[in-house]
Amino acid sequence: MDFLRMLAKARTPGGTAFFRACTWFGEEVCVVAVLCLLFWCIDKRAAYRISFAYFASGLAVQILKITFRIERPWVLDPEFLPVEGAMTTATGYSFPSGHTQAATAMYGTLFLWAAAWQTKQKVKKILCCFFSILAVVLVGMSRMYLGVHTPKDVFVSFAVSFVLVLVVSYLYNTGQLDHHKKIVVIVLMAISVFAVVYALVLGNAEVIPKALVSDCAKAGGAGVGFAVGWYIETGRIQFLCRGAWRRQVVRYFSGIAVTLLLKSGLKIVLGDSLPANAIRYFLVVLWIMALFPAAIKAAEERYKKR
């Protein structure tokens, strides 16, 4: 808390605006937008690496949150004031930091990918590595500057997430993810279901609020959706993400539009119960990973026949 109080004293309007912009790079909407761009239009393999790290670390952070149940800084110290408006994206328990987890999964994976990039353009490689590291640092720093996380929240989240980034990278580099697809799917689905059941047990015992049970239901549904979607796409669909830039633009924005429509529309249709949230996130992620790629492949095949 002493470090947060020191940062609070050093806040300026310009600094606050800067770090509020930085924290957006760890938001779910930013990560999903980048993942969809990579997956649908640029590089599926890079998108899969990020996605595995993102969903695995997200489930780990959710489990740690409801296990340790450490309150936010302004709850620990009622006299401490975070930046006004920053609390809207600071839901649930404080430890570990979800924004840091998302940033580490995405930009940490991009860092390893860029570091292994075999290219003669050394400057581009160095810049990619530098900005990947910078993004993780700035997102983590922004959470502390805004007063919504302590250093422990940020550093533990970074450590857990980066370890999983390294594990995913190793499994990809050695080909084990591709060679043991069924086992990978079963393990990821089992962890997802465990997170939901664990949260339900704590929720029924009134140890954690229902809002956090709902967060775990969403994370579990998304984890299962990713596992199923990845298995179907890599095994049966195998769409090509490259294409003419005009078709890529149409592909991306139409896919994003349907994704947003599904996320909001399914909430209206299914409601806001725990099973509904799990099903909704399952279907949204399944759309991103398998249903829309299947539609892309079908459209490309019809285009070729013409």
State the pLDDT at residue 146. Answer: 92
Q: What does the block give as tokens for 196?
A: 């939901």
Q: Which of 126, 156, 179 is where one domain is finished?
A: 179
CA 53, CA 56: separation in Å to the nearest integer? Answer: 5
State the pLDDT at residue 32. Answer: 92
pLDDT confidence band for 306 (50 / 70 / 90): low
Asked whether residue 80 falls in the same domain as residue 31, the answer is yes
When pLDDT is averaged across residues 76-94 and rounded to a whole number, the result is 83
Residue 1 has pLDDT above 80, yes or no: no
Asked whether residue 168 falls in the same domain as residue 225, the answer is no
Asked whether residue 170 falls in the same domain as residue 222, the answer is no
Vertex 240, ends 239 and 245: CA angle to 5°? 135
Q: Which residues contact 223 (CB under 8 A, 6 or more apart)?
A: 55, 58, 59, 188, 189, 191, 192, 195
pLDDT confidence band for 76 (50 / 70 / 90): confident
Helix (H, G, I), strand (E, B) or coil at 86: helix
Sequence letter at residue 109? T
Residue 95's CATH number? 1.20.144
State the pLDDT at residue 77. Answer: 87
Q: Are 222 and 283 in contact (CB under 8 A)?
A: no
State the pLDDT at residue 243. Answer: 77
pLDDT tens for each residue of 152-187: 999 999 999 999 999 999 999 888 888 889 999 999
Inside any domain, residue 200: no
Asked whether residue 170 falls in the same domain as residue 32, the answer is yes
pLDDT confidence band for 117 (50 / 70 / 90): confident
pLDDT tens for each residue of 269-300: 998 888 999 999 999 999 999 999 999 888 87
pLDDT tens for each residue of 5-29: 888 888 899 999 999 999 999 998 9
pLDDT tens for each residue of 248-272: 899 999 999 999 999 999 999 998 8
Residue 105 has pLDDT above 80, yes or no: yes
Q: How many domains does the chain have?
A: 2
Asked whether residue 121 falls in the same domain as residue 11, the answer is yes
Q: What does the block give as tokens for 202?
A: 């704590």
CA 131, CA 50: separation in Å to the nearest integer? Answer: 16
Could you list the residue range(s) of the whole structural domain that residue 165 is in?
1-179
Residue from 36, 39, 193, 165 nearest 102 by CA: 165
State the pLDDT at residue 2. Answer: 80
Asked whether residue 31 falls in the same domain as residue 139, the answer is yes
Measured in Å, how far apart are the chain's first and last C-alpha atoms?
Answer: 65
Inside any domain, residue 57: yes
Asked whether residue 147 falls in the same domain as residue 68, the answer is yes
